[in-house]
Amino acid sequence: MSWLTAEEALRALKTKPQTLYANVSRGRIRAKPDPADPRRSLYQAADVQRLAERHAGRRKAETVAAETIRWGDPVLSSAISTIIRGRLFYRGQDAADFAAAATLEQTAALLWNGAAAASSDSAGKYAPPSLQAAFLALAGRVTADLPSLGRSQAALRRDAHDVLSTVADALAPGPSDQPLHVRLAASWQRPQAADCLRCALVLLADHELNASTFAARVTASAGAALSASVLSGLSTLTGPLHGAAWQGVDALIEATAGVGAEQAIRRTLAQGNSLSAFGHPLYPDGDVRALTLLSHFPLPAKFTELRDAGEAMVGEKVNIDFALAAMASAFDLPREAPIIVFSLARTTGWLAHAMEQIESGQLIRPRARYAGPAPETIASR
């Protein structure tokens, strides 16, 4: 990955420093501290070149459209969340500040623009949290639930309550009169982790147009049931480049235990693999969600070793995937705890985006830029 100094970036862009900094804050240009001088920043060359070409008017419309799907400008308008100058906001409220005391239920109320409460009809003995159970429960609803198209926001919000309850019964089983973070901590028999889980759930509730949220919006745009949108989001979240990135962190920790953090990082980079524990394109100065969550518990020794070595060698700070894996280790939670927490939290965001997409009345249907064999000539008739 090639990096430019501020002077080089400004020459390529033919713009003022204020414009360069604005593009960084909006996530259009990735930046990192200059290892030679921490007071200065370096800027990702490919991002600078992309913007320079756009400003020069040399790109075709289909190229612009294609790049919007790959960390480009937002492809959809949304009033739900955004990242500005390294801070995450939920409907204008700073998410890190909101996470100081809010619950996931209160976050759902904020994201949905209406009162939210996760209720449950389950009773008696509760099964452990299970991602498989969430998939099965959602799949069982999809063909029975009403399509979302043509229904009022009040009706959709009632459906959203019900879908969240279905997911909560699978991922945080427990009495309906208890907050979801308390239910989740109790289900793992770790009551001391409840407040940390609460914070993590709030911080992970939404994150603009990430891959799983986009999948959920595409499903909703076709008029499918809200349960189908959540099922689409959940399926996408399980990918190793998204919600399952914590597994890469676990692998680094295992290697650190064997050969030390520096050698583990060197081996990973030498094999051509990325380090899922470090960096995020939208947070050039560090993932605010990770910084907030890590302040809630003592960092285990191996994670401290990995963080210190990685940040020095890579030049990027740890991200939310690192923080989730560290939280699971600190409280001795089950190995799959990060994806359970992520899935439960992000369900609220998927539902918010699905309802917003339905209200827009627009079908998401991009065109493909054909790159296959030349079509055969159609004989004239």
Q: Which residues pair with 90 in a beta bridge?
A: 81, 93
Residue 246 class from Cβ within 10 Å (0-12 exposed, 13-18 middle, 19+ buried)?
buried
- Is 47 noted as a catalytic residue in this protein? no
- Is the separation of the CB atoms in 342 and 324 below 8 Å? yes
- Cα–Cα distance for residue pair 171/184, rounded to 1 Å: 7
- Cα–Cα distance for residue pair 193/181, rounded to 1 Å: 9
Q: Which segments of the chain are extended strands (E)?
A: 3-4, 31-34, 37-44, 81-84, 87-90, 93-94
- Cα–Cα distance for residue pair 317/303, rounded to 1 Å: 13
- Cα–Cα distance for residue pair 116/93, rounded to 1 Å: 17
Name the active-site residue from 169, 206, 321, 353. 321
Name the active-site residue from 159, 280, 287, 353. 280
Reduce the secondary structure of 72-114 to three states and give it as a string. CCCCCCCCCEEEECCEEEECCEEHHHHCCCCCHHHHHHHHHCC
Q: What is the DSSP pairing of strand 81-84 with strand 87-90?
A: antiparallel
Residue with tokens 């289900």: 187
- Is 321 noted as a catalytic residue in this protein? yes
- Cα–Cα distance for residue pair 95/107, rounded to 1 Å: 9
Hey, which residues are catalytic here?
280, 321
